[in-house]
């Protein structure tokens, strides 16, 4: 490992423990990615040990407001390095958090690492040397992914001077732009903090970097050298464990004993002489392996696991505290911590967890190769039953209510159309391209409430907007017509979206449809809300709409996606009526 020279010394590091990383759901619903077990050792331990050996003296780990700091971290501080924790009181964004930590970061360059990065053997000294020698304000670690399926976030780089052009998350195969991907490690000049908003939400890649570029400040890309892996999907998590097992020479397997070729076991492990092993296999502390058990690698078994008679485990990851009954079979699967496995259990190409809800399932990445997940709360496959029932019921409710609404309101629509034509020049309807489910564009319908040249005037008024988020809102927007103010104040202008619901482009309840540009402020918020159809109304709307700050908008959208249910939809619809009648936050 390259130890940093005194001239290249970087002493402080921030580890960002994102609270809603959608790519790793539903596992990240159980614990932060930094606590994911990698060969029976939390991911964060690899990171902290690496940073300590690299000369980092102070680490601060940031958590979102809904996250709990794991007891494991509080009780397992490593010698030779100071570890502290910071919990945001509202969504601040990856850049916003850095401004909150300004006193901790000091006046020297500092390192920022994503919580889902396995640091491996990164050559940190060369990374820092490049940053200092080139005089960069921010340097982003990148890697070239020749095997990318085109759906991952990528980075466009100027090949001449190695500066960053843009970050991009494609939502279709034809939208692929670059094979360069962010590694999850950044190096910052401390002067960058003055460009970060003190109060509002701010993201590093989508807001801070473009702001620095507009100021003609250098934002560089550096190809990270040395083995490492950013866990951007469950496939990455499986592959990392597999690669480390197959490259046993790189790992010490946490002081475990190799009892036969390719089979490492921890302390206090009882193994029947009649059990069969084919490595590579790692077995944690306090495990019990009974007669005729067959374990075929690459496989990882956590601590305190009981593998009963005749159990077959093939190429799987078993977390702590699992008891597999007689003759169970687990193949190419992951079993979550302390899951209660039933008799006659057979799992193949599955993730097995307990206590899941519909939102957890919907957040699984689209490139997920396993067949599904099993919810052990009631021993059923959510993918094949509960989720389907929810989607069918939600669609039936959308069809019935939207069709009934259109039929009942049709005479009213005709009167409004006549009034709009009499009030100002222009069409009756305003159609705008918005992002639907999975980023697919559709034409969202509204009654026109603005003058004909509204788009041109928008560019002149952008500096006067009254919201801290991506949407443009003004309480006295001069572009709005006389009738338009009435339609907006009563939300009547949104009623034509019942046709979008009927066509299946929208739902009655869901995150509001936006354009992609308006969602760039937070990639995790964007990815979460694009997992489902947008809605005419949602949790954010019933909390005050335009009067609600942007960080609350993020909070409510994510809460809806994760907690979605038919009863929640009904509750939102009833509360929407109350909010509209009171004209709360309607601009």
Over residues 207-216, the pLDDT tens digits come to 899 999 999 9
**In this predicted model, what pLDDT tens digit does every residue of 220-262 receive, in sequence order?**
999 998 888 888 878 888 889 988 988 765 566 767 899 998 8
What contacts 350, CB < 8 A, 6 or more positions away?
Answer: 333, 334, 370, 371, 372, 373, 374
pLDDT band at 330 (very low <50, low <70, confident <90, very high): very high
For each of the domains in the chain, give its residue range(s) and CATH number, in order of start: 6-232 (3.90.550.10), 235-381 (2.160.10), 388-582 (no CATH)
Among residues 563, 558, 564, 532, the alpha carbon closest in space to that of 91 is found at: 558
> Is 80 exceeded by the pLDDT of residue 353?
no
Least confident of 204-208, 346-350, 424-428, 476-480: 476-480
d(CA 202, CA 469): 9
Q: What would the mean pLDDT of 312-336 be, rounded to a whole number?
A: 92
**In this predicted model, what pLDDT tens digit does every residue of 312-321 receive, in sequence order?**
999 999 999 9
pLDDT band at 367 (very low <50, low <70, confident <90, very high): very low
pLDDT band at 463 (very low <50, low <70, confident <90, very high): low
Q: For residue 173, what pLDDT is reported?
A: 52
pTM, two decimal places: 0.80
Q: Where are the beta strands (DSSP E) in 129-248?
A: 138-144, 154-157, 164-168, 180-188, 219-223, 229-230
Least confident of 245-249, 252-256, 274-278, 465-469: 465-469
Query: 147 phi and psi, to 5 degrees?
Result: -100, 15
Q: For residue 152, what pLDDT is reported?
A: 74
Q: For residue 227, what pLDDT is reported?
A: 87
CA 239 from centroid of its chain's CA atoms: 19
């Amino acid at each position: 490992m390259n130890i940093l020279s005194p001239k290249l010394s970087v002493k402080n590091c921030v580890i960002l423990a994102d609270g809603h990383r959608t790519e790793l759901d539903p596992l990240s619903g159980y614990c932060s990615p930094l606590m994911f077990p990698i060969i029976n050792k939390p991911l964060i331990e690899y990171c902290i040990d690496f940073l300590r050996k690299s000369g980092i003296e102070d680490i601060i780990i940031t958590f979102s407001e809904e996250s709990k700091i794991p007891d494991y971290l509080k009780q397992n501080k490593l010698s030779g390095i100071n570890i502290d924790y910071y919990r945001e009181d509202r969504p601040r964004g990856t850049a916003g958090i850095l401004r909150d930590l300004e006193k901790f970061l000091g006046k020297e360059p500092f390192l920022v690492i994503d919580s889902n990065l396995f640091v491996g053997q990164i050559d940190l000294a060369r990374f820092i040397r490049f940053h200092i020698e080139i005089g960069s304000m921010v340097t982003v670690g990148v890697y070239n992914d020749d095997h990318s399926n085109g759906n991952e976030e990528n980075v466009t780089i100027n090949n001449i001077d190695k500066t960053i052009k843009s970050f991009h998350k494609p939502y279709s195969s034809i939208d692929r732009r670059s094979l360069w991907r962010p590694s999850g490690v950044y190096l910052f000049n401390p002067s960058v903090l003055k460009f970060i908003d003190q109060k509002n939400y701010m993201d590093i890649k989508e807001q801070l970097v473009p702001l620095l570029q507009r100021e003609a400040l250098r934002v560089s890309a550096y190809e990270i050298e040395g083995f490492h892996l950013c866990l951007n999907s469950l496939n990455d998590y499986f592959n990392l464990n597999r690669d480390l097992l197959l490259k046993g020479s790189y790992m010490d397997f946490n002081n475990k004993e190799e009892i036969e070729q390719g089979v490492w076991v921890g302390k206090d492990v009882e193994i029947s002489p009649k059990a069969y092993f084919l490595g590579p296999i790692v077995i944690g502390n306090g495990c019990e392996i009974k007669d005729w058990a067959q374990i075929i690698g690459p496989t990882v078994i956590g601590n305190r696991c009981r593998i009963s008679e005749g159990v077959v485990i093939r190429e799987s990851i078993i977390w702590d505290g699992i008891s597999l009954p007689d003759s169970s079979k687990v193949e190419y699967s992951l079993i979550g911590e302390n899951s209660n496995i039933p008799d006659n259990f057979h799992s193949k190409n599955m993730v097995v967890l307990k206590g899941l809800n519909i939102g957890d399932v919907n957040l699984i990445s689209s490139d997920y190769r396993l067949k599904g997940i099993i919810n052990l709360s009631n021993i059923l496959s959510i993918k094949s039953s509960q989720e389907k029932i929810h989607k069918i019921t939600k669609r039936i409710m959308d069809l019935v209510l939207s069709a009934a609404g259109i039929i009942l309101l049709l005479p009213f629509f005709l009167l409004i159309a006549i009034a709009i034509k009499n009030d100002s020049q222009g069409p009756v309807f305003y159609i705008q391209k918005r992002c639907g489910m999975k980023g697919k564009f559709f034409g969202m319908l509204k009654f026109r409430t603005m003058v004909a040249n509204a788009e041109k005037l928008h560019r002149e008024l952008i500096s006067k907007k009254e919201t801290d988020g991506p949407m443009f809102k003004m309480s006295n927007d001069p572009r709005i017509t006389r009738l338009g103010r009435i339609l907006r104040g009563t939300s009547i202008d949104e009623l034509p979206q019942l046709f979008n619901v009927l066509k299946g482009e929208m739902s009655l309840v869901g995150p509001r449809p936006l354009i992609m540009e308006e969602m760039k402020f937070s990639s995790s918020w964007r990815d979460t809300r694009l997992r489902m159809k947008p809605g005419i109304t949602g949790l954010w709307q019933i909390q005050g709409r335009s009067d609600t700050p942007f960080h609350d908008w993020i909070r409510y959208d994510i809460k809806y996606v994760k907690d979605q249910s038919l009863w929640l939809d009904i509750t939102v619809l009833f509360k929407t009526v109350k909010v509209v009648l009171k004209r709360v936050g309607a601009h």
